[in-house]
Amino acid sequence: MRGRARWPAMAWTVLLSGCALFAGPLHAQDDAAEQVRATLTQWRDAFNAGEAERLCDIFAPDLVVTYRGTADRGYAAFCRQLETAVADPALELRYDLEIEEIIPAGDLVVARVTWTLTSRAAGADPETQVERGMDIFRRQPDGAWRIARFIAYDDAP
């Protein structure tokens, strides 16, 4: 009788220990997704404020940018392009962001995003370009999540 009474308590202990074991990784995935969401939002805000010095913080040193119709670019070339664009006083730029999905997977996080760029050259009407894509974040040695790869294309036919 005494052995039977202990079995349910042991079973609950094993079950609760198993739940605790899986809660850690699930919590870490939620944290990664939230960090990536915050990083994307902060980048949008920095871009819209014209803060060129903050624009490349989101990218890993081994960045590869793939954009339809252009050659792949790395960190240095892409950062130069961004910094040049926001520094142009004759050009007004604004990005809006829609995060469609964030998928954490260990030391990688995939974000499906839609960026809507509104640009206006001095004296011209505004132009809007919708860019859909995937940003692949990799956890860096310092613990930060940075984009290592991104693939984007505009919705133009």
Which domains, and CATH codes, for the chain? Answer: 2-154 (3.10.450.50)
Query: Strands 145-154 and 59-67: what pairing?
Result: parallel
Q: What is the pLDDT, as a whole number, of residue 23?
A: 47
Predicted pLDDT at 138:
97
Q: What is the pLDDT of residue 28?
A: 54
Walking along the chain (157 residues) 10 residues at a time, the average pLDDT comes out as: 54 52 53 95 95 94 94 96 92 96 95 96 92 96 96 78
86: tokens are: 């926001």
Question: How far apart are the C-alpha atoms of 102 and 100, rounded to whole Å?
Answer: 7
* Residue 34 φ/ψ, nearest 5 degrees: -70, -40
Q: How far apart are the first and last CA of the chain?
A: 76
Q: Can you give the pLDDT at residue 30? A: 75
